[in-house]
């Protein structure tokens, strides 16, 4: 036992020192950012100019989706044989006056095997549904005191008071956030054929799959207005939220807070966290193919400014923190600013982003696309939520 504990302490120590080393070696100097030559979202692989909805949806969107699936995130499998929902009663409801708590086991089977994941859903009490719902993909396995909610990160009571239902599931319930154990969830049980495939699913595919199963639950729930479903992720789960929504059109609004490298930020800027840094520290997040671009971001057939177009015309929101240079706030801003062109040029949304990042007035809330940057460090704070909720108020139709 003692040896095992020592082993985990050693692993933790190695992980922390790899992080510090990677962050210290990163480029934070704008003058060293390479001149950006980005792939064009509006030119097809055969060189055809894409400037209308039919060509976008029939030709270019599928091309871009396929590239993200094969070289960045890996497959998010959609097939299974059966799904069932069972309410359990294990934890105390932290909001007996404000909410009904539903702890739900979702069991999915495929090829004779099954996996059970858990979501926790709070429904406003003494208000009339059906309610819009906000799902947070949470990666804190359990809060230190064993509670279901940490208000500093997931402000459940504020959301309930504003008339939203809100739910979360822990990433661990479908794929542990760990290089040694990430397969010990749906990958081993339900989708073992994905193992070893260069474009096979890893943690992001699995976390996206979990979000889709939560949506399956919302869709059959009489107290939820599933057409008004909102998906939220911070950092690693912000990347997962974006990939989920690119796969699943049932999400009305998608919010990625400080999702950085492999999420909001342009990879070609090589500012802060790079493709190599993220693949070395988290080899189990993205498809194995992504590793081919370690140090060679300029050879990627896509860049992250092409990701919002996969979610369009549904609403999308990004945010950054000035103290979170590792996530490259300017790269995140450019990701959404350039990404919003599909919203305006193909879907006719009214969007005007400021041209300069350095002088922008935050928040920027446009039709279906929004962004803010705040002071402070890497975190999902009430300030982030409150800007986002204002955007939701304007865009949830």
| Positions marked active-site | 235, 378
Closest by CA to 281, choosing from 11, 74, 15, is 15
Which member of 123, 190, 242, 261 binds ligand GTR (CB under 6 A)? 261
Total site size for ligand GTR, rule CB under 6 A: 7
Our CA angle for 188, 193, 194, nearest 5°, is 80
Which CB, 19 or 107, lies closer to ligand GTR?
A: 19
Closest by CA to 291, choosing from 207, 224, 202, is 202
Element (H, E) at 276: helix 275-281
Which CB, 19 or 109, lies closer to ligand GTR?
A: 19
Q: Does 328 bind ligand GTR (CB under 6 A)?
A: no
| Shortest reach from residue 18's CB to ligand GTR, in Å | 10
The secondary structure of residue 165, as a DSSP letter, is E
Angle between helices 203-219 and 236-247 (to 10 degrees): 60
| Chain centre distance of CA 124 | 25
Q: Does 278 bind ligand GTR (CB under 6 A)?
A: yes
Q: Does 260 bind ligand GTR (CB under 6 A)?
A: yes
Give, as ranges, the residues between 42 and 101 that touch ligand GTR (CB under 6 A): none
Our CA angle for 326, 329, 334, nearest 5°, is 130
* CA pair distance 100, 43, nearest whole angstrom: 50
Which CB, 131 or 139, lies closer to ligand GTR?
A: 139
Closest by CA to 224, choosing from 341, 116, 123, is 123
Which CB, 248 or 273, lies closer to ligand GTR?
A: 273
Which CB, 261 or 351, lies closer to ligand GTR?
A: 261
* CA pair distance 371, 393, nearest whole angstrom: 14
Q: Does 273 bind ligand GTR (CB under 6 A)?
A: yes
Give, as ranges, the residues between 124 and 183 that touch ligand GTR (CB under 6 A): none
Which CB, 122 or 284, lies closer to ligand GTR?
A: 284
Which member of 236, 270, 337, 341 binds ligand GTR (CB under 6 A)? 236
| Shortest reach from residue 102's CB to ligand GTR, in Å | 27
DSSP for 46-114, please give it.
TS-B--SHHHIIIIIHHHHHHHIIIIII-------SEEEEEEE--S--S-TTTEEEEEEEEEEEETTEE
Which CB, 41 or 335, lies closer to ligand GTR?
A: 335
CB 314 within 8 A of CB 229: no
| Shortest reach from residue 262's CB to ligand GTR, in Å | 7
| Shortest reach from residue 383's CB to ligand GTR, in Å | 17
Q: Does 202 bind ligand GTR (CB under 6 A)?
A: no
| Shortest reach from residue 260's CB to ligand GTR, in Å | 5
Strand, helix or coil for residue 189? helix
| Shortest reach from residue 62's CB to ligand GTR, in Å | 28
Question: What backbone phi and psi angles, to 5 degrees, belong to 49?
Answer: -75, 130
| Shortest reach from residue 237's CB to ligand GTR, in Å | 7
The secondary structure of residue 245, as a DSSP letter, is H
User: What binding mask, one character per residue, do residues 2-41 give for ligand GTR by CB under 6 A, x or -?
Assistant: -----------------x----------------------
Binding site for ligand GTR (CB under 6 A): 19, 235-236, 260-261, 273, 278
């Amino acid at each position: 036992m003692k040896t095992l504990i020592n082993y985990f302490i050693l692993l933790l120590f190695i992980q922390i020192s790899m992080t510090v080393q990677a962050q210290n070696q990163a480029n934070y100097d704008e003058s060293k950012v390479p001149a950006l030559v980005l792939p064009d979202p509006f030119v097809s692989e055969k060189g055809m100019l894409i400037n209308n909805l039919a060509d976008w949806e029939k030709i270019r969107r599928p091309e871009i989706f396929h590239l993200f699936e094969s070289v960045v995130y890996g497959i998010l499998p959609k097939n299974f044989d059966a799904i069932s929902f069972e309410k359990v009663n294990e934890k105390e409801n932290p909001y007996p006056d404000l909410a009904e708590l539903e702890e739900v086991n979702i069991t999915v089977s495929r090829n004779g095997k099954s996996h059970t994941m858990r979501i926790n859903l709070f429904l406003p009490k003494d208000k009339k549904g059906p309610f819009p719902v906000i799902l947070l993909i949470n990666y804190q396995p359990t809060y230190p005191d064993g509670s279901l909610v940490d208000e500093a990160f997931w402000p459940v009571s504020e959301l309930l008071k504003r008339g939203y239902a809100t739910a979360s599931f822990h990433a661990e319930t479908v794929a542990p956030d760990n290089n040694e154990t990430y397969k010990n969830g749906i990958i081993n049980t339900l989708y073992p054929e994905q193992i070893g495939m260069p474009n096979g699913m890893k943690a992001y595919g699995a976390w996206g799959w979990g979000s889709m199963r939560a949506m399956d639950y919302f869709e059959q729930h009489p107290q939820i207005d599933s057409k008004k479903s909102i998906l939220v992720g911070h950092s690693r789960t912000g990347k997962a939220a974006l990939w989920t929504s690119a796969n699943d059109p049932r999400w009305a609004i998608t919010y990625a807070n400080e999702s950085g490298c492999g999420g909001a930020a342009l990879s070609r800027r090589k500012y802060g966290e790079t493709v190599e840094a993220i693949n070395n520290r988290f080899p189990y997040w993205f498809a194995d193919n992504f590793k081919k671009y370690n140090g060679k971001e300029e050879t990627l057939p896509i860049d992250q400014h092409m990701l919002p177009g996969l979610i369009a015309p549904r609403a999308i929101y990004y945010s950054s923190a000035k103290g979170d240079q590792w996530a490259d706030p300017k790269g995140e801003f450019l990701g959404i600013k350039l990404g919003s062109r599909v919203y305006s040029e193909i879907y006719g949304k009214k969007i005007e982003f400021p041209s300069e990042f350095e002088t922008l007035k935050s928040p920027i809330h446009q039709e279906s696309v929004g962004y803010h940057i705040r002071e402070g460090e890497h975190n999902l704070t009430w300030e982030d939520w409150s800007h986002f909720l204002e955007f939701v108020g304007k865009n949830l139709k």
